[in-house]
Chain A
Amino acid sequence: DQQVKQNSPSLSVQEGRISILNCDYTNSMFDYFLWYKKYPAEGPTFLISISSIKDKNEDGRFTVFLNKSAKHLSLHIVPSQPGDSAVYFCAASPQGGSEKLVFGKGTKLTVNP
């Protein structure tokens, strides 16, 4: 049973445009969400996180939006750059202070020059 879903295995955008990566979750106990970027043969790199008490968090070109009623979050990258080409994982953690993260399957983003 997949609790964190990234339904788009891949996404292709033009350099300078907006990239929007989506993530849905089923467990209403999740209250902390993160996005990670992963290049081949490297470990995931933390990008941005959001707590369930917020609906938006921004860091430079990266913004994460959380819609709790829809159990949906999205990562916006503006403007997209070729160096952003990587696999993006959405992850979630349940209430209760658990260190456990549940990852989605990832979306491969390709930014074309």
Chain B
Amino acid sequence: DTEVTQTPKHLVMGMTNKKSLKCEQHMGHRAMYWYKQKAKKPPELMFVYSYEKLSINESVPSRFSPECPNSSLLNLHLHALQPEDSALYLCASSQAWGDSRYEQYFGPGTRLTVT
């Protein structure tokens, strides 16, 4: 099973709202990722969690707040977003990297629209 699930599929929120995106995997992966993808652009890395600890933050604005409650779950809390934050948000997971390299498996994404 190489499935990563994400909820919701679509989200429309106002600039003053607070919402959360959720991601789940049951492959025993210990690294989880959030990416942002705009139309006709490649995915851009936002955050990486390795063994439930934040290991990479790509200078993402504080209105995006990640959380990793356990090894299977990854959340992205959203607050006071701007219209330019509208994008496809992708979650991915992989075995934790060390000396070996592992492919990342992506979820279907959450299509976020900020009005």
Contact = CB atoms under 8 A, between A and B. Distances in A.
Interface residues on A, range: 20 to 34
Contacts of A25: none
Interface of B: 4, 6, 31, 33, 40-45, 48, 50, 55-56, 90, 92, 94, 96-99, 101, 103-109, 111
Given A45-B106, A49-B101, A99 B50 contact: yes
Contacts of B56: 98-100
7 contacts: A32-B101, A43-B90, A45-B106, A46-B105, A99-B31, A99-B96, A99-B104
Contact of A99 (B42, B55, B107): B55
Interface string A37-53: 00001111110010100
Given A49-B101, A99-B31, A99-B33, A43 B109 contact: yes
